[in-house]
Structure 1
Amino acid sequence: MEKVLTQQTEQVGGMSRWRRIAGVAGPGFIVAAAGVGAGDLIASLNAGASFGLTLAWAVVVGCFIKFIVTECIGRWSLATGISPLRGFHQLSKIFTGYFGIYSIILGFFYGAAIAGALGLTVHAMFPAVDIKLGAIVAVLLGLGILWIGKYSSFEKLMSFFVAVMFISIVGAAILTKPDLSILLSGLTPRVPQDGTFYVLGVMGGVGMSIGLLSYGYWLRDRGWNGPSWIKTMRLDLVIGYGMTFIFMFAMMIVGAAFLQGSGTEVGGLSDLNALANPFAERFGEPAKWLLLIGMFSAVFSSLIGGYNALANVFNDIFNIYRKTDKERDENAVRSVPFRAYILWMCLPPLAMLFLDKPVTLVLIYAALGALLMPVMIGGLLWLMNSKRLDKKYRNGFVMNASLVLGLVMFIGLGLNELVNL
């Protein structure tokens, strides 16, 4: 398998550039599609509306930090042959217990958030469809796709969503005819007055959280095993986070060109039509559908990719406590723990469409979520410099400094989240 894939990436003659990239990119596309949700796009939109392209540098920093974190996860997985979760467990069982509790609570609330977002997006596209009905149908469709399993089909589907998001979101940005002379001005780091909240939101909104741990599983599902794939893995991540930056920056351009100075702020997907309808008035009905299709793709790909990622993590945690040597069963996506967790994320959260959120659980979820990334980055700092990893694969100064920067950044985000509880 490794020899075949290597040959595919080296055969340049007669292949288009896109096909050569697609031959290398795989799990990175999944990270891009699953990690950029509608909330991330709206955060970029509002940042553009409030400050133009001044905060484009924050998108770069957010992508860079998540790239470093994910690269460490991939490098550990390829160099050791075990998952970072098992490495964390060797350091301290506290890590596994924390991630296990968080994954169960996150599964419920993430499922509820995705269901609500899908309902609002479907309703914005087809006003005759009730929000709750749209949410239920979309979630059940996602459940059916996840239930079938098979990594190759999953990767192709996520790559399709990346293509759709690229066409729709970048297309919407191009329609606004941005001033090319100011596109690069936002790459100079500066925080405008009253812009700290937006900076943190844009940085922290790039990519997944605990779901990033699933990157190591996706590498192996793709057939990338062993240290010889580390360079390929890094290129895969460069492509993935490059696409993430393009999505976020394009939405910032839309906000800067279309909303800046209007006093309009999109609070969430419930305000989607308040953005899409004026967009259609200025640029035509097809422009409105570009936005809506882009938003739907962002949400639905977050369901498919995010649920798969979290179920992989839960499955590994389950097997750790079951004291099995294997991280996952032979066919993980069809195993009982994986499918049970998928059902947990898909079905019980639908009740949240009809009920008010239980305040106590929301507070617990928010508190655990605020601490998640600092705990994971702190664990990676420990793990990637330990003797459990061959010396030549350990972190150097740049990687450690970048992780420390990420740790400080996410501690700031976590404190901000806790203060606002």
Structure 2
Amino acid sequence: MFSKLKNLSFGPATLVAAAFIGPGTVVTASLAGANFGYALLWALVFSVIATMILQEMAARLGVVTQQGLGEAIRSQLQNPFIKWFSIALVLGAVVIGNSVYQGGNLSGASLGMAGVIGEHAAWLPLVLGMLAAGLLWNGSYRLLERVLIGLVLIMSLAFVATFLIAQPDWSAFFRGMLVPSLPVGSLLTVVALIGTTVVPYNLFLHAASSAQKWQSAEQLPQARGDLLVSIPLGGLISIAIVSTAAAAFFGQAVSLEGAADLSESLRPLAGDGATWLMAIGLFAAGLSSSLTAPLASAYALSGILGYGGDLRSLPFRLTWLAIIGIGVCIASLGLKPVSVIWFAQVANGLLLPIMALFLVWACNHKMMGNYRNSLKQNLLAAVVVLVAIGLGLRSIGAALQWW
């Protein structure tokens, strides 16, 4: 038992947790708790398990082949049509989509910072964008990993402490986690909760960062130990946010439209301390996603176009610089690029099941040698892929309806 415990540590999977706990997740989880109480916590438990299944395969692919997912797509797909279709999807969903979502990440971090300093200034997105750019320009994977580990720990402390201050109903809490239910009108919220955790660009991020962190298949136990710590910790943060909103607002006539509303509305219920903690957590969530979204995009694009994953290479830097720049403009000017977001949603809906299917195929390929998927892993992956297809269809349907 102790030999297994020594492999538990923080690593590339922390980047995945930092990526899926962003301002969008904070808003989605807050609304889930405010509207449906603790009833949808089971969806987060499921999403954490599904994420661990997919991300274990992504990490294993990176460690064993020393390639990112983008590089594996480029090297293994021989059919020109399928290859270029995959490249187009990656460009649409990961690169263009993340450029737009970066605006939301910087806006969320700015709201959190405004809650700490007491005022919201138009220059905050620019400063935070420059901070993210400075950390990425350094080109040190170890530095990025340490910063993101710190941000995940800050989020954990802030959101879990806020959850405890809000005094949850423990019986309803455990019932919501262990007994699946679908209250009237909750289906789209369940899809949103799962969709904010199981996201396609994290497959690129995890595979590439694992290839940089570990150089041989003998280090797979460390990669899996990292996964066992970081992904459940990210799930715990989401569960804490849902539960805080459930404890504070479920069954009350309180209207929440965003994370800032949640932070401010907690003041009369739980005092200034909870408001500060929520603001700090929102800042950490926004900044962590502001780092991981450009990083994942650069890994994906560089890998699939054959530029490699060197953090100091010019194509790599130009990719994340463009994404941060677009995000700063969107956050600073208050732009709402509806058409681009719609396009990104459709592309993401297509990308998740396709990338999940390719990942399963790659992990059964001869390039994996003795580390190919077992029957059990393939069965679990099949369940997750079916869910990914359902999420993808629902995402596309929602986007078309919106359009």
TM-score by length of 2: 0.89
Residue of structure 2 equivalent to 1:340? 318
> In the alignment, is the contact (CA less than 8 A) between 2:111 and 2:279 conserved in 1?
no
Which runs of 5 or more structure 2 residues have no equivalent in the other structure?
none
Provide the rounded CA distance (Å) in 1 between the counterparts of 2:95 and 2:208.
19
- Show the 5 A alignment for 1:211-360: 211-222=202-213, 224-269=214-259, 272=260, 274-319=261-306, 327-328=308-309, 332-352=310-330, 353-354=332-333, 356-360=335-339
Residue of structure 2 equivalent to 1:416? 394
Provide the rounded CA distance (Å) in 2 between the counterparts of 1:415 and 1:86.
27
- Show the 5 A alignment for 1:103-122: 103-122=94-113
Judging changes above 3 Å, is the alpha-carbon distance between structure 1 residues 338 and 360 closer, same or farther for their aligned structure 2 residues? same
Which runs of 5 or more structure 1 residues have no equivalent in the other structure?
1-8, 321-326
Judging changes above 3 Å, is the alpha-carbon distance between structure 1 residues 118 and 162 closer, same or farther for their aligned structure 2 residues? closer
> In the alignment, is the contact (CA less than 8 A) between 2:56 and 2:227 conserved in 1?
yes
Aligned equivalent of 1:67, options 33, 45, 52: 52
CA positional deviation for 1:127: 4.8
- Show the 5 A alignment for 1:42-191: 42-89=27-74, 90-91=76-77, 92=79, 93-94=83-84, 95-130=86-121, 132-186=122-176, 187-191=178-182
Residue of structure 2 equivalent to 1:407? 385
Judging changes above 3 Å, is the alpha-carbon distance between structure 1 residues 350 and 245 closer, same or farther for their aligned structure 2 residues? closer
Secondary structure (helix, strand or coil) at the match of 2:252 reads coil
> In the alignment, is the contact (CA less than 8 A) between 2:97 and 2:341 conserved in 1?
no
Provide the rounded CA distance (Å) in 2 between the counterparts of 1:98 and 1:200.
21
Residue 360 of structure 2 aligns to which amino acid in structure 1? L
Structure with more contact order per residue of length (Cα contacts < 8 Å, sep ≥ 6): 2
CA positional deviation for 1:78: 1.9
> In the alignment, is the contact (CA less than 8 A) between 2:100 and 2:326 conserved in 1?
no
CA positional deviation for 1:403: 2.2
Judging changes above 3 Å, is the alpha-carbon distance between structure 1 residues 194 and 101 closer, same or farther for their aligned structure 2 residues? closer
Secondary structure (helix, strand or coil) at the match of 2:306 reads helix
Judging changes above 3 Å, is the alpha-carbon distance between structure 1 residues 107 and 183 closer, same or farther for their aligned structure 2 residues? closer
Provide the rounded CA distance (Å) in 2 between the counterparts of 1:343 and 1:277.
33
Residue 34 of structure 1 aligns to which amino acid in structure 2? A
Judging changes above 3 Å, is the alpha-carbon distance between structure 1 residues 104 and 198 closer, same or farther for their aligned structure 2 residues? closer
> In the alignment, is the contact (CA less than 8 A) between 2:245 and 2:262 conserved in 1?
no
Aligned equivalent of 2:11, options 13, 16, 26: 26
> In the alignment, is the contact (CA less than 8 A) between 1:34 and 1:207 conserved in 2?
no
Residue 226 of structure 1 aligns to which amino acid in structure 2? S
Residue 245 of structure 1 aligns to which amino acid in structure 2? G
List per-residue Cα deviations over 1:178-198 (Å, max 9, x = no partner): 232333211222222221111
> In the alignment, is the contact (CA less than 8 A) between 1:119 and 1:133 conserved in 2?
no
CA positional deviation for 1:101: 4.3
RMSD between superposed Cα atoms in Å:
2.3
TM-score by length of 1: 0.86
Provide the rounded CA distance (Å) in 1 between the counterparts of 2:382 and 2:134.
41
Residue 50 of structure 1 aligns to which amino acid in structure 2? N
Provide the rounded CA distance (Å) in 1 between the counterparts of 2:292 and 2:335.
27
Residue 399 of structure 1 aligns to which amino acid in structure 2? Q
> In the alignment, is the contact (CA less than 8 A) between 2:64 and 2:371 conserved in 1?
yes
List per-residue Cα deviations over 1:87-133 (Å, max 9, x = no partner): 32212423234324443312421222223333333334445332x32
CA positional deviation for 1:45: 1.9
Judging changes above 3 Å, is the alpha-carbon distance between structure 1 residues 257 and 99 closer, same or farther for their aligned structure 2 residues? same
Identical amino acids, percent of aligned pairs: 25
List per-residue Cα deviations over 1:210-247 (Å, max 9, x = no partner): 2331212222332x122112222111111111101110
Provide the rounded CA distance (Å) in 2 between the counterparts of 1:256 and 1:101.
36
Residue of structure 1 equivalent to 2:373? 395
Judging changes above 3 Å, is the alpha-carbon distance between structure 1 residues 363 and 54 closer, same or farther for their aligned structure 2 residues? closer
